[in-house]
């Protein structure tokens, strides 16, 4: 596997680590939380993030397509999101050729997902269910570790 593909897999693992932190322990009411009257709910944002990784996989496979999924219940949406990450990473790990450059895959769906992780984290604070800050430089993020179960934070702050 070339270095750029390995780097892209690390970026996907970073999304998994940070997204896991933003959704883990969220109260049931968080799914319907909106930052404002015209903004998406937390569940709609997470659904969009799943769609981003469906899109990323379709681009990588050379059959680009966009689809907008209906939002599921929070727990089901969390499961779906991590399944989509795993499917995209499995393609990256397969050694199959990418139909787009790693840079373009990063600048599109992956960077967009990281933006939405930040939105969810901010929304948790607004919903009075904050996520602790962390020194992400010290985080134990590993290629292929993509589920909700992640290593504990090396250094969190209040």
d(CA 40, CA 146): 25
Tell me the mean pLDDT per 10 residues along the chain, length 158: 91 97 94 96 97 98 95 93 97 96 97 98 96 94 92 85
Domain ranges in the chain? 3-146
Close Cβ partners of 113 (under 8 Å, ≥ 6 residues apart) = 15, 19, 49, 52, 53
The answer to whether residues 109 and 53 touch, using CB atoms and an 8 Å cutoff, is: yes
* Encoded tokens for 27: 């109260």
pLDDT of residue 1: 65
pTM of the full predicted structure?
0.94
| CATH 1.10.3720.10 is right for the domain spanning 3-146 | no
Cα 33 to chain centroid distance, Å, stands at 18
């Amino acid at each position: 596997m070339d270095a750029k593909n390995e780097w892209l897999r690390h970026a996907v693992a970073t999304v998994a680590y940070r997204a896991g932190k933003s959704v883990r322990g969220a109260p049931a009411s968080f799914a319907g939380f909106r930052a404002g009257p015209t903004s998406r709910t937390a569940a709609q944002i997470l659904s969009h993030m799943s769609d981003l990784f469906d899109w990323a996989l379709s681009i990588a496979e050379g059959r680009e397509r966009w689809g907008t999924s209906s939002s599921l219940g929070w727990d089901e949406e969390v499961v779906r999101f991590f399944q989509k990450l795993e499917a995209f990473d499995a393609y990256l790990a397969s050694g199959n050729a990418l139909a787009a450059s790693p840079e373009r895959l990063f600048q599109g769906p992956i960077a967009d997902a990281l933006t939405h992780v930040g939105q969810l984290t901010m929304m948790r604070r607004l919903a009075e269910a904050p996520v602790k800050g962390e020194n992400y430089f010290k985080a134990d993020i590993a290629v292929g570790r993509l589920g909700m179960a992640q290593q504990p934070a090396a250094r969190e702050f209040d």
